[in-house]
Amino acid sequence: MTTASSSPAPSAAARPLRRLGFLTIGAFEGDDPTVGLEQGLELFERAEALGLDGGWTRTRHLQLGISSPVAFLSAAAQRTSRLTLGTAVMPLGWENPFRLAEDWGTVDVLSRGRLQLGVSVGEPRAYDEVGPHLYGDAADHQDFSYGRVEKFLSLVRGEQVSAFEGTEGIEVFTGRVQPQSPGLADRVWYGAGSPRSAEWAGRQGLGMLISNVSFAGAPGPIEPTRFAASQLEQIRAFRAVHPSGQEARVAKGAVVLPTDTATAEQRAAYEAYASSRRDRTTVAHGPRGMMFDRDLVGPSEWIAEQLHENAAMREVDDLIVELPFDFGLAEYTQVLTDAAERLGPLLGWQAAARGE
């Protein structure tokens, strides 16, 4: 945890922030999911009115949060007109690339090209139990490697999947997944957590998402600057091989809670939340050495200074404000309002015209 009550103004950022967005899991109550999901959609509307650039969802399977970002962002597309709509991230181990290409092609067309699709690979959690429900008898024959992303991309780009094209009776068939949405493949991001995954994403020409999780490679105590150094290594590995070089897109998610206009009760709640997570930022956990970034709670001037001092953040194009699971619409609105009106400009960001 890191909190503050005051601080001098920060120095100029090395790489001005291009885009500012937010991330929500769309938490809801199990016996009445409508309220939480509706509030999630309202948050997208409020973010657009504030001039933010993007709203992102995180996929939550078997949890009380957005399990179907396709359905949720379809609704968000109809309630917004400018805000980009993203996933950060959608784990493809739970998805059929063919059907996903159809679904996201449809949403991208309906949103007029506003999707930003963050994906990842790997075996689903508790796969021994979940796998048969996902894939039946084929559960033991699934490919959870980068090849799953490559297959999805090829379908979105119009790979021929059927030799038959033409009319059969009164029905017209094509050999490609439909609808095709030009440019969608150029708005796919990969959720990286290591130099290896970052380099793979760069070679594929994707965008790269980094979050408040990274990997040290081994468990044990870590230095305070280790997290930022790890993400900087990933960014450099990514851009070194990306066709766009230093212009390749990097977005960072971080739990930042500006308190400029927060009530005393809200500030206390934010500080208590961050305090409860403090111990996890000093130790790398598990065999891969999972590390967590600091939560930043305080005035925008102080948060901006902390971000400017973060070696990885200075190389980032987009900041995604990760909203904690535990608060309500009033708290989320306050955080996003301060982010749009105070924190963003301190990082070199310019808001879109409100209400566009």
Separation between Cα atoms, residue 302 and residue 309, nearest integer Å? 11
pLDDT of 269: 98
Total Cβ atoms within 10 A of residue 122: 13
Angle between helices 69-79 and 33-50 (to 10 degrees): 50
Query: What CA–CA distances, in Å, run from 324 to 79, 159, 188, 254, 332?
Result: 23, 39, 25, 10, 9
Separation between Cα atoms, residue 310 and residue 229, nearest integer Å? 9
The structure's pTM equals 0.93
pLDDT of 350: 92
* Average pLDDT estimate for 146-155: 98
Query: What CA–CA distances, in Å, run from 345 to 20, 51, 84, 203?
Result: 10, 12, 20, 33
pLDDT tens-digit readout, 306-355: 999 999 999 999 999 999 998 999 999 999 999 999 999 999 999 876 54
Can you list the domains of the chain with their CATH numbers? 12-125+142-157+175-252+311-346 (3.20.20.30)
- Percentage of the chain surpassing pLDDT 70? 95
312: helix, strand or coil: coil
Write down the mean pLDDT value for the chain: 94
pLDDT tens-digit readout, 280-308: 888 899 998 999 999 999 999 999 999 99
pLDDT band at 26 (very low <50, low <70, confident <90, very high): very high
| Residue 155 pLDDT > 50 | yes
DSSP one-letter code for 187 = G
